[in-house]
Structure 1
Amino acid sequence: MAVYKLLDEDFEHAYTLIAIHASLEDYRLAYFLNSVLNLRLKRMDSQDVASYNANVTAFEWFDEIHQVFWGLLKNKTTEKTQPSNSGLFEDNETTRTEYVVPEFSRADYLLKIDDQQGAYSATEEVVRELKKIPGIITTYTIEVQELKSKNNLIFLTNA
């Protein structure tokens, strides 16, 4: 019997990923991105993000004129869970923290720019404009090919 394997190398991850360290709420950051970069980011429905196992806040927009997909998501998610067993500490809640890209756990947000051509041509201009936004501490690009968790970003796609 033949065994067939899908290799991760077959799926090309040709997009630009920018890490954002910010002290802003997700909706405020989306508002500032819309203002500064002339985007129209809108919050995704929770059903569209349900493929990921945590409650991820995400915004997306497809620029039909330039054929560029923009996606913004919060990297860190926390969930409060009630313990299932009753015992001495039954009133205590536990929190579980997950990261979309655990290799960059210090990044608060991730901005995915996909123009189907590989690296976005105006990445340095975008990073420069992001640094001007009040509340953003720093921002930098991430090498997508080196990420182990790049498949966590599949739900942000313009398909």
Structure 2
Amino acid sequence: MHKLLMDDFYDATYTLFAVHCRLEDYRLAYLLNRHLDLKLKRKPQDLDFNYFSTYPIYEWDNAQEYMTWNLVSNVCKKEEASLYSTGVLFGEEDRTIKTYNLISEFKRVDFFIKISSEAKAVNEKLILNKLQAIPQIITSYEVDLASIKHKEYLIF
């Protein structure tokens, strides 16, 4: 019996940046387009994990440099029915807002920027400097891919 692991056939050819900011996803995509000279557009379908949680995703395929840029939210807020009983038969149902994370190891990260490159290396320092120059971004840094348990969530 031969068991294949995800690492057996998937080689990480991407760079991942974590972004901390309190902006909406469309606003951050606009600022990234403006400051990094990108053309990110929202994909018609969000990342969806069995209707459990959905994460907005933006993409730009730079055919000239053989790079694909993705901006994906790490946070999904979903309103759900509360599980405790109020003791009233026909009372109003309490609703609570639950927060889910795409990558659970980075609960405080708001967004991830994934840069997939087929041909040339990504200049991480230059990108980080440009990200830090955006006043609405609190902080940004490169993520060590070895620290992520579920890398399959980043395949899109």
| TMscore range, shorter length | 0.7 to 0.9
Aligned length: 151
Question: What residue in structure 1 maps to residue 31 of structure 2?
Answer: 32
1:50–1:23: structure 2 CA closer, same or farther, 3 Å change rule?
Answer: closer
Deviation at 1:90, TM superposition (A): 4.7
Percent identity reads 34
5+ long unaligned stretches in structure 2: none
Structure 1 residue identity aligned to 2:35: V
Give RMSD over aligned pairs. Answer: 2.1
Contact 2:60–2:70 at 8 Å: present in 1 too?
yes
Contact 1:71–1:111 at 8 Å: present in 2 too?
yes
Question: What residue in structure 1 maps to residue 143 of structure 2?
Answer: 142
- Deviating more after overlay: 125-134 vs 143-152: 143-152
Contact 2:16–2:114 at 8 Å: present in 1 too?
yes
Question: What residue in structure 2 maps to residue 8 of structure 1?
Answer: 6
Normalised to the residue count of structure 1, the TM-score between the two structures is: 0.85
Question: What residue in structure 2 maps to residue 20 of structure 1?
Answer: 19
SS of the residue aligned with 2:55? coil
Equivalent residue runs for 1:36-51 within 5 Å: 36-46=35-45, 49-51=47-49
Deviation at 1:4, TM superposition (A): 3.4
Equivalent residue runs for 1:54-93 within 5 Å: 54-83=53-82, 88=87, 90-93=92-95
SS of the residue aligned with 1:136? coil
Deviation at 1:80, TM superposition (A): 0.6
SS of the residue aligned with 1:66? coil
Question: What residue in structure 2 maps to residue 107 of structure 1?
Answer: 109
Question: What residue in structure 2 maps to residue 152 of structure 1?
Answer: 153
Deviations 1:61-89 (A, max 9, x none): 10000010000011011111135897537
Normalised to the residue count of structure 2, the TM-score between the two structures is: 0.86
Deviation at 1:6, TM superposition (A): 1.6
Structure 2 residue identity aligned to 1:98: Y
